[in-house]
Amino acid sequence: MERKSQRPAQDHTRLARLRRDDALSRIATINRSIGAAALVMTGVLGLYLSKALPGHQASTQSQSTQSQSTGSSGSNQLTPPPSSPVQTQQPAPVVSGAS
Amino acid sequence: MTLSVTAPSMDTLGIYRTRGLGCLAEIVLTDPDSVVGTVDIVHEELDQIDRAASRFRPDAEIALVHRAEGRPISVSPCLFEAVAVALRVAVATGGAVDPTVGGALNRLGYDRDFASIGAGIPGDLPKPAPVPGWRSIELDRASRTVRVPAGTVIDLGASAKSLTADRIAERVAATFGCGVLVSLGGDISVAGVPPPGGFCTGLADVSGGAEASETVAITSGGLATSGIMSRWWRVGHHVVHHVVDPSTGLPPARAWRTITVAAASCVDANAASTAAMVKGPGAEEWLAALHLPARLVALDGTVVRVAGWPAPVASEPEAVGPVR
């Protein structure tokens, strides 16, 4: 008698576990999809903004191939000299003034 | 052009002088034997930037960009770099130096080579109006295109000259392995190993033949001077000069007669000295905050030094005389 009454209870528990595992599997799939979509959207949005915002540059080249630009540090700040000018009384071959 | 060998101090330097970009170009080398080889590099770079960016040449590449009526135009690496550097300068100066001032300069009468303006032009000052703004320029490095809105005129004068000085200095130093100073209208770039004590540079209100009121030596980077004592003209009864405030499209109020700045490159030095002229009374504080050594000469001749610009040696005058 005891065995007969335990049987439906075990089936019920087993069914509940199967449903739980199935739901967890679906949630994991949804999470992976959301993660992938977020990555793709970030890339697409970044590319769009780099092209759409006026006055900005879009680039598909690596940093090393862009470093040809001469006369500037490449940063968006004005860079002080490695050393300040020093006063001298030596004759100067050139003169800096407004031109 | 002039080729000469001179001994300004204990060292023997080679000097080459010519004209380009509407100003005097001077190249000083620690190896006099490299002067002849330098000539080709100098003219190649000067011609290249003139063909690319001159606002006064109808056949210049920049004219094609202006005529494109807002369409992107594929440009040479030289012009692309010049525009990219101008945009970087605009960002770095908070928009005080803006390449879209070309239209404002045209309205002030500076629409031809400066020598052609003469004593001035008739009429009155245009009404204050902000320039289109550097944000309206679009660059695409992948396709190497530049797009400028229809009606916007780019003036690369401020940054293109200093960029060319940096390019020549770097090429000459790399080619001949000597120290080199390049001065384009007083915008100076130094590369390679300098002579003992550095390259000596006089400072004056106007570059080219003017008597220096102070002399400094630099060993690397750039030095540039902006001022109101050169390249000025009259519009009716008003005296105007070539530095334009992008917020008004007019020359800024006169606060300084010259500002000289030292920086890591000639581009940065020129950007800082031009922006400081635009900022007027706020220039001193702005330069100090950026740690850029600078020498500012007020309208009455008073000299202000900031961010480590050296004090004069005992025999030099502290003031250089008022503006006439």
Amino acid B254: pLDDT:
85
To the nearest whole Å, the CA of A67 is away from the closest chain B CA by 11
pLDDT above 80 (res A46) = no
pLDDT value of position A63: 34
A63 close to B (CB below 8 A): no
The verdict on A56 touching B (C-beta cutoff 8 Å) is yes
Single-letter amino acid code for the residue at A8 = P
Confidence of residue A45 (pLDDT cuts 50, 70, 90): confident
The chain-wide mean pLDDT, for chain B, equals 88
pLDDT of residue B49: 96
- Which SS3 state, helix, strand or coil, does residue B10 take? coil
Percent of chain B with pLDDT over 90: 67
Nearest residue on chain A to B288, judged by CA atoms? A80
DSSP character string of chain A: -HHHHHHHHHHHHHHHHHHHHHHHHHHHHHHHHHHHHHHHHHHHHHHHHHHHSTT-EE--S-HHHHTT--SS-SSSSPPPPSS--EE--S--SEEEEE-
Chain B residue with minimum CA distance to A69: B81
Q: What are phi and psi of B33, to 5 degrees?
A: -65, -15
Region B195-205 average pLDDT:
90
pLDDT for B11: 58
pLDDT at A51 over 90: no
A44 compared with B71, residue with greater pLDDT: B71
**Which residues on A lie below 8 Å from B243 (Cβ)?**
none
Interatomic CA distance for residues A94 and B215, integer angstroms:
10
Is B131 or B238 the better-scoring residue by pLDDT?
B131
Query: Residue B122 pLDDT more than 90?
Result: no
| Chain A contact present for B50, CB below 8 A | no
- The answer on pLDDT for A26 being more than 80 is yes
pLDDT for the residue numbered B307: 95
pLDDT reported for residue B60: 94
Give how far A41 is from chain B: nearest CA, Å.
Answer: 21
Percentage of residues of chain A with pLDDT beyond 70: 66
Q: What is the ipTM of this complex?
A: 0.83
Burial B112-149 (b: 16+ CB within 10 A, else e): eebeebeebeeeeebeeeebbbbbebbbbbeebbbbbe
Q: In the A/B pair of chains, how many CB contacts fall below 8 A?
A: 234
Please return the burial class of B106, using the count of CB atoms within 10 Å of its CB with bins 0-12, 13-18 and 19+: middle
Q: Do B166 and A71 touch (CB under 8 A)?
A: yes
Name the residue facing A55 among B85, B137, B142 (closest C-beta).
Answer: B137
Q: Do A70 and B206 touch (CB under 8 A)?
A: no
pLDDT higher than 50, residue B4: no
What is the reported pLDDT for A42?
82
Q: Which residues of B touch A94 (CB under 8 A)?
A: 26, 28, 181, 183, 186, 188, 199, 201-202
Inspect the interface and report whether the beta carbons of B224 and A54 lie closer than 8 Å: no
pLDDT-wise least confident of A43-47, A62-66, B277-281: A62-66
Q: Which residue of A has its CA nearest to B8?
A: A91
Residue A56 predicted with pLDDT over 80: no
- Amino acid B44 reads E
Max mean pLDDT range (A26-35, B111-120, B218-227): B218-227
What residue segments make up the domains of chain A, in order of their start? 1-51
Residues A24-36, mean pLDDT to the nearest whole number: 89
Contact of A98 with chain B, judged by CB distance below 8 Å, is answered with: yes
Which residues between 71 and 90 in chain A have a beta carbon less than 8 angstroms from any beta carbon of chain B? Answer: 71-74, 76-90
Neighbour count for residue B72 (Cβ, 10 Å): 16
**Closest CA–CA distance from residue A36 to any residue of chain B (Å):** 27
pLDDT score at A49: 66
> Tokens for A69?
């630009």
pLDDT of A61 higher than 60: no
More confident residue, B90 or B232: B90
B81 close to A (CB below 8 A): yes
- Measured between CA atoms, the residue of chain B closest to residue A50 is B140
Confidence of residue A68 (pLDDT cuts 50, 70, 90): very low
Nearest-Cα residue of chain B relative to residue A60: B142
Give the residue from A68, A72, A75, A77 with the most B CB atoms within 10 Å of its CB, the best one to mutate. Answer: A72
| pLDDT tens, position by position, B167-187 | 999 999 999 999 999 999 989
Lowest mean pLDDT across A82-91, B105-114, B151-160, B253-262: B105-114
Helices (H), chain B: 35-53, 61-67, 77-92, 102-107, 157-176, 266-279, 283-289
**Contact list, A55 vs chain B (CB under 8 Å):** 87, 90, 133-138
Could you report how far apart the first and last alpha carbons of chain A are, in Å?
A: 110
Q: CB under 8 Å to B321, separation ≥6 — which residues?
A: B301
Tell me what the mean pLDDT of segment B127-137 comes to: 94
Task: Find the mean pLDDT for residues B241-268.
Answer: 92
- The yes-or-no verdict on residue B51 having pLDDT over 50 is yes
User: What is d(CA A1, CA B131) in angstroms, rounded to the nearest whole number?
Assistant: 95
Domains of chain B: residue spans and CATH = 3-312 (3.10.520.10)
A97: alpha, beta or left? (left if phi > 0; alpha if psi -120 to 50): beta
Strands (E), chain B: 2-6, 13-20, 23-29, 73-74, 120-121, 138-140, 145-147, 180-184, 187-191, 199-206, 214-218, 221-227, 232-235, 238-241, 256-263, 294-298, 303-306
B263-287 average pLDDT score: 96
Chain B: nearest CA to A69, how far in angstroms?
6
B135 contacts chain A (CB < 8 A): yes
Facing residue for B202 by CB, picked from A57, A83, A95: A95
Look at A82 and B310 and tell me if their CB atoms are within 8 Å.
no
